[in-house]
Amino acid sequence: MVTEVNAVNFRQNLGEMLNRVEYRNESIVIQKDGKPVAALVDAEMFARIRRMRERFEELSGRIAKAYAATPQAEGLAEIDAAVAQERKR
């Protein structure tokens, strides 16, 4: 479950918010002036997000290297075609 709170409410209820994340597996989105600025998630979820980001950056780097000599429009068209084909599966 994701709960949205403003920064003042979050600051005033920090202990409760930490308990909700730790014991109820909730995520808290913290808003400032009505806009989301941060999120509080459990440490395991954060570790998973970091691993996924690292894998994404690694794959993005490999793709960029593989297409370095390819004109941008041609490379993007090839990627779009591959994505479309995969989505048909």
pLDDT (0 to 100) of residue 61: 94
pLDDT (0 to 100) of residue 12: 97
Q: Which residues contact 28 (CB under 8 A, 6 or more apart)?
A: 2, 3, 4, 5, 10, 17, 20, 21, 39, 40, 41
Average pLDDT over every residue of 21-44: 96
* Domain ranges within the chain, ordered by starting residue: 2-41, 44-88
Distance CA 28, CA 9 (A): 11
CATH class of the domain defined by 2-41: alpha beta
Q: Is the pLDDT of residue 67 over 90?
A: no
pTM summary value: 0.66
3-class state of residue 79 by DSSP: helix
8 A C-beta contact, residue 7 and residue 31:
yes
75 falls in which pLDDT band (50, 70, 90)?
Answer: confident
Across the chain, mean pLDDT equals 94
pLDDT (0 to 100) of residue 66: 87
